[in-house]
Amino acid sequence: MSNVPLVTKQMIIDYIKVVADTLVPIVEVSGNYPATDDIVPYGIYVDDVSTISREVNQLGITTCGSIYTMTDQFMILFVSIQDDPKWIFIEERIQNMSADSSFFDGYFEVTFNQNIVIGNRSEKRTYTFNLRRLNFNS
């Protein structure tokens, strides 16, 4: 099994676009994740998927094998106006992604945290996904 994440940024973008492209006007989905201090226009931004930890798996210890638990992480940022009627469709698609076992094939645990920041007229919703998988080294 590979040491690289099993999902890619482009796969995540394509998954979200299934709904985003049907909304009027279309909600843009970008792979250019903004810096913290950037002024960010309306849209959805997907960060790179990266492996953030590699730990020896307990089963590997007891069987003297080379089994590791890998944790991959990515973030999605949705910037919208307050009371945006489209946010519920985007929210549902992003939250349903965590339960889509065919999309996250190869991962045994998928969790996410959501952080909402409400500004004067805007809302920023940041979703941080953590994906856990087993890795076998020969």
Q: What is the pLDDT of residues 53-79, one digit of tens each?
A: 988 876 655 556 678 889 999 999 999
What DSSP string describes 16-48? HHHHHTTSSSPPPEES-PPPTTS---SEEEEPP
CA distance 47 to 8: 10
Average pLDDT estimate for 7-20: 96
Q: What is the pTM of this model?
A: 0.89
Using CA of residue 90, residue 93, residue 94, residue 96, what is the dihedral sign? positive
CA distances from 75 to 50, 72, 98 (A): 10, 11, 12
Q: For position 138, what pLDDT does the model report?
A: 53
Summary mean pLDDT of the chain: 89
Average pLDDT estimate for 106-121: 93
